[in-house]
Amino acid sequence: MSEKVLHAGDSDFDATVLQSSEPVLVDFWAPWCGPCKAIGPIVEQLADQYDGKAKVVKVDVQEFPALGVRYNVRSIPMLLMFKDGQVHSSQLGAPPNIKSLLTQMIDKAI
């Protein structure tokens, strides 16, 4: 697993994501979710690729359900791009072109 991927929960989400000076891609996922596991390596690649320009954070919605509720996460994987503390864009699910979609989301935010 990439050391660049951060993990956030109820206690540190605001500081890690909303107060970040860099745009933040947040991956809402759960350990039992097959599509979440499938895109995991792509999310890690993006964390390495954008190191210093954007953060990548994973939130386990099974462990921190309140964060899922707060951001209306009804289905996973759900990825939200935050910029200046606000949701900038989102991607639901894991389509075959997920890497290019996420790359576009990050590029638009930085």
Q: Which of 5, 25, 36, 98 is catalytic?
A: 36
Whether 1 is catalytic? no
Q: Which of 8, 33, 46, 102 is catalytic?
A: 33
User: Which residues make Cβ contacts (< 8 Å) with residue 73, sequence separation at least 6?
Assistant: 28, 61, 67
- CA Rg value for the chain: 12
Whether 33 is catalytic? yes
CA-to-CA distance for 87 and 9, rounded, in angstroms? Answer: 17
- Please answer whether residues 25 and 79 qualify as being in contact, where contact means their C-beta atoms are separated by less than 8 angstroms: yes
What amino acid positions are annotated as catalytic residues?
A: 33, 36
